[in-house]
């Protein structure tokens, strides 16, 4: 089992940048596929980015491709989401998630462990 704690959210102007962090507990962090999801008010939770156990394979939603970068440091039990060129439509609560199955997964139901979320607000 793994516990996840996100940080780094905040208020930023459109065009700005933020870096989210997700710290994981446990000594088996390196075996988990990690994902970032987001949920805006009145909308369903959506996949943003994912990274496999080694960091050698990543995936992004079309809406963030080219602007966001997911990475991980297994020595620090941490996954990051670098967000550049932020837009007002990126405003949401961002969640870190994890699972330890082989299949990749872009649906919330594919992930077993979740953080509490961190608010990102982009002002236009």
For 27-63, what is each residue's pLDDT tens digit? 788 899 999 999 999 999 999 999 999 999 999 999 9
Backbone angles phi, psi at 100, to 5 degrees: -120, 30
Which pLDDT value is given to residue 52? 93
Both structure tokens of 20: 């989210």
Which pLDDT value is given to residue 28? 87
> Would the CA dihedral through 86, 78, 1, 6 be positive or negative?
negative
Cα gap 33→100, rounded to integer Å: 6
Which pLDDT value is given to residue 81? 98
Pairing of strands 46-51, 58-60: antiparallel
Neighbours of 84 (CB within 10 A): 14
Which pLDDT value is given to residue 49? 97
Residue spans of the chain under pLDDT 50: none
């Amino acid at each position: 089992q793994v516990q996840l704690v996100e940080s780094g959210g905040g208020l930023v102007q459109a065009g700005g940048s933020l870096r989210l962090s997700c710290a994981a507990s446990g000594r088996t962090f390196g075996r988990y596929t990690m994902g970032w999801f987001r949920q805006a008010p009145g909308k369903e939770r959506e996949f943003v980015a994912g990274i496999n156990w080694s960091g050698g394979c990543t995936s992004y939603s079309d809406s963030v491709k080219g602007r966001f970068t997911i990475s991980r440091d297994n020595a620090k039990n941490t996954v990051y989401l670098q967000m550049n060129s932020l837009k007002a439509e990126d405003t949401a609560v961002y969640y870190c998630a994890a699972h330890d199955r082989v299949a990749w997964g872009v649906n919330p139901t594919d992930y077993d462990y979740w953080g509490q979320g961190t608010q990102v607000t982009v002002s236009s």
